[in-house]
Structure 1
Amino acid sequence: MKKSLYFVFTLLLLNSCSKPKETVSLNTIAEDYVKLILEIGLYDSDFVDAYYGPDEWKPTIKKLDTLPAKTLIESISKLQSQCKQVNTEGFSNLEKARLMMFEKQLLAAKTKLEIMSGKVYSFDEEAKLIYDAEPPHFTEAHFETLLSKLNTILPGEESLYTRYNEFISQFVIPKEKLDTVFTTAIAEARTRTNKYIKLPKNENFVLEYVNDKSWSGYNYYQGKSQSLIQINTDMPIYIERAVDLACHEGYPGHHVFNALLEQNLVEDKGWVEFSVYPLFSPQSLIAEGSANYGIDVAFPGQERIDFEKNVLFPLAGLDINKAETYYEVLALMGKLNYAGNEAARKYLNGEITREECAKWLEKYSLNTPERALQRTRFFDQYRSYVINYNLGKDLVADYIDAQGGTVEHPEKRWEIFKELLSNPHTANSLK
């Protein structure tokens, strides 16, 4: 009798141990995730940057008077728990990358909801939780050294701020020539991109000029390889911005990035979570970083300077006699770009006021008072998002360079760049 009981007990124990762990389909979680992101978007018009999934997944509920943060956060926590139940046995490296990015996107959404409901994070904490990145710190002495070099390039008796702004004023695109210059730059960027990346046959964009925005340019991806590209004309637009924005917003930047994700991940693989793009997420560091790095990929080194001097300068009616000095100045200003991050960090951490932040930008970024205040508006609206432009570019550049995608090997560079645009990546996966 005792042996029989022991045998029964052993069978029950073995059955219990051999029972497979409850698993959840990542595709099922993905659908719930998309619907949840769209619901959060009801409470922040910037939250959903693009959506090109089924219309029936869009929220049917009306926006409530107050943010239901607790309920939404609980929904995210549920999805996070389900991610832990996904059976990764047999997963390819790409599928593992999908799951890893999925979990980081969920963490970002939860963090953003907490911020929307009043929770305070430091600039660095927020950047880590939302963008999966650790922003570098620079001292004022670092920027002073760069300004000293700029002072040598632009000698004179007046303040460096005055000399700089008077000098660059010679390179403003006249408003009546903006469209000609921009459409020419975009067409060239598209031609160069199409040589290395096979774009969808029907891809296209609409270009608009707008006012009263905190940003200089924006791409609203519409799905099916279509984009709305807007250029803000509030402030003077300098000649180099034509190529910058043509590449960043268009080719091979945001327009191409979204088209490749839609084609490669949503349509070909059925990974529906990529049919929605939450702006405040790790995806944005890759999007902005690759869009800025894409400028150098499409127009490497001297090729850009030659195109601008030989094509865009004449179209804009600008004198090329001081162009070489201008490009020296631009190179230094690129290094000063991180001064904006420091201004945002101090401002958002409550260490300085808006007025003090604007003064910092006037001093270390040499912004006009109007431009400096516009940038503080950007900080208010997008917060630590500012790191995605410069840190994102540096991480993308290092990633591609480390794999042999150097300027000396353009085909390899484009190959790795396309792989980056077409697959799940976050800041940590670039290390």
Structure 2
Amino acid sequence: MESSTYTGENAAEARDMDAVARFYVKCALWLGVHDPVFVDAYFGPAAVRDEALTVTVPPDRIAGYAADLLATLDRIDPDRLEEAGRMRHTHLREMIRALNTRAGILAGEKLSFDAETEALYGVAATEDDTDWYGELHATLDARLPGDGNLSVRYRAFMDSYVIPSDRLEPVFAAAFAESRRRTVERLPLPAGERLEIGYTAGEPWEAFIRYLGDATSLVRVNADLPVTIDRALAYACHEGYPGRHTMRTIRETALVRARGWIEHSVVTLASPLATVAEGAAVLGEEMIFSGHERAQFFEEVLFPLAGFEPEDAGLFDAVVIESTALNRTGNARVARKYLGGVLSREEACRHLRDVLLLDREAAEARLRLIEEFRAYPVALAEGYRIVRDYVGDGAGRWERFVHALTEPALPGDLTSSGSPG
């Protein structure tokens, strides 16, 4: 392929946010060639993608283009824009800043882990507390049957709730169906919305979802790997309803198609907008299965479908609540200490085993994900905290959640205001 002939000045000449946004999309697609985890989905015009990918652009040049685009935005006076335009201007700037940072890193720029987290995701990593997990371990120790080593008991307990491979399909189907039913009671989905679930084997992943555009997602579940029953429901909520699939169908309809904001047709996993979006997706399970409702759904539907004793559902749900909090916080802390140079690789693995209660194989797999996605676990944990605190309790809770889920919100948008704007 030939080098690109585009320059940031091409967009700058128009001094127009549509031109900036279109060129940003091309830059994101170019960067995705060098960083396979940067672009999570693209559902914009095929012509834009095809035009972008006819050339190869090195990361240092992409960083330069991003700087040009930021300079262009500086020449657009937001005070002369209507409210939606001002919001777009602010959010487009943060998307481009994150792209500029990521391209610079790939080009060889060195940032501390904390600086990288702030620049890419718009949040600060949680400060260290040597006993942050003590209370969670104590609660798990009291709940889990038997005596002795906590990690051994925890893994044995969870292993007893691995869904038999011949029951994966009905369990996942029921989880997705119920999460969708509860979501549409609160949040209308675009016409023609569709999520297809399929099953495969021989893959390294447990499951994945791909948003294809036109309100359609494809889910594939690996029937070869052990999947505990809580993962079926968590996956249905986080990836399906009211999580990523729901978010993307609504944003495609409301932002890309209705407003013409093409920048939202490329979903990147490194930006402050991703922090809020992922936090809302994680919170989704708590929103539609509040209080005792999840344990009740396990007991009445999922446990019988998987062949488990329904009377065990309450204990299982209580253990999952604690272990989920342990992993969400622990992943972020291990990522910061390992990638920040505080822990060696061996020490990080041991921390994952001793604190997050993973076996050696799972700890190695988790560490590889941290190495690949870097600060993303911090963004996930902080995004969840920010959205949870913003949503709060009482009247207006669902309205605030829908705002965080479906609007392009930055972390600061949710921490500086108590209501949707």
The TM-score normalised by the length of structure 1 is 0.87
Q: Shift of residue 135 of structure 1?
A: 1.9
Shift in alpha-carbon separation, 1:396–1:218, aligned structure 2, 3 A: farther
Matches within 5 A, 1:41-52: 41-52=32-43
Matched, 1:186 2:170: no
Cα separation, 1, equivalents of 2:389 and 2:175: 26
Q: Which residue of 2 aligns with 1:128?
A: 118
Q: Shift of residue 111 of structure 1?
A: 1.2
Deviations 1:220-269 (A, max 9, x none): 21111011223355642111112111010001100010111111111111
Shift in alpha-carbon separation, 1:55–1:218, aligned structure 2, 3 A: same
Deviations 1:78-108 (A, max 9, x none): 0000011112234344332221111111111
1:340 alignment partner, one of 323, 327, 331: 331
Matches within 5 A, 1:30-429: 30-60=21-51, 62=54, 64=56, 68-154=58-144, 156-209=146-199, 216-232=206-222, 235-337=225-327, 338-401=329-392, 406=393, 408-409=394-395, 412-429=396-413
Contact 1:170 1:318 (C-alpha < 8 Å) held by counterparts: no
Cα separation, 2, equivalents of 1:341 and 1:213: 26
Shift in alpha-carbon separation, 1:131–1:48, aligned structure 2, 3 A: same
Contact 2:333 2:378 (C-alpha < 8 Å) held by counterparts: no
Contact 2:334 2:348 (C-alpha < 8 Å) held by counterparts: yes
Q: Shift of residue 297 of structure 1?
A: 1.1
Contact 1:260 1:421 (C-alpha < 8 Å) held by counterparts: no
Counterpart secondary structure, 1:420: helix
Cα separation, 2, equivalents of 1:173 and 1:391: 31
Structure 2 residue ranges without an equivalent (≥5): 1-12, 416-421
Cα separation, 1, equivalents of 2:127 and 2:202: 31
Cα separation, 2, equivalents of 1:284 and 1:209: 28
Shift in alpha-carbon separation, 1:368–1:176, aligned structure 2, 3 A: same
Aligned letter for 2:413? Answer: S
Aligned letter for 2:31? Answer: I
Q: Shift of residue 158 of structure 1?
A: 2.2
Counterpart secondary structure, 1:140: coil
Cα separation, 2, equivalents of 1:177 and 1:73: 49
Contact 1:209 1:230 (C-alpha < 8 Å) held by counterparts: yes
Aligned letter for 1:347? Answer: Y
Shift in alpha-carbon separation, 1:39–1:358, aligned structure 2, 3 A: same
Q: Shift of residue 370 of structure 1?
A: 1.5
Contact 1:50 1:221 (C-alpha < 8 Å) held by counterparts: yes
Shift in alpha-carbon separation, 1:256–1:137, aligned structure 2, 3 A: same
Aligned letter for 1:425? Answer: A
Q: Shift of residue 159 of structure 1?
A: 0.8
Pick the structure with greater CA Rg.
1
Aligned letter for 1:395? Answer: I
Cα separation, 1, equivalents of 2:202 and 2:364: 12
The TM-score normalised by the length of structure 2 is 0.89
Q: Shift of residue 68 of structure 1?
A: 1.7
Identity value in percent: 33
Contact 2:179 2:242 (C-alpha < 8 Å) held by counterparts: yes
Shift in alpha-carbon separation, 1:339–1:332, aligned structure 2, 3 A: same
Mean Cα deviation higher: 387-396 or 87-96? 87-96
Counterpart secondary structure, 2:353: helix
Cα separation, 2, equivalents of 1:41 and 1:109: 10
Cα separation, 1, equivalents of 2:30 and 2:217: 23
Q: Which residue of 2 aligns with 1:29?
A: 20
Q: Shift of residue 362 of structure 1?
A: 0.8
Aligned letter for 1:218? Answer: F
Shift in alpha-carbon separation, 1:314–1:134, aligned structure 2, 3 A: same
Q: Tell me the number of residue pairs that the alignment of Structure 1 and Structure 2 aligns.
A: 401
Aligned letter for 2:30? Answer: E
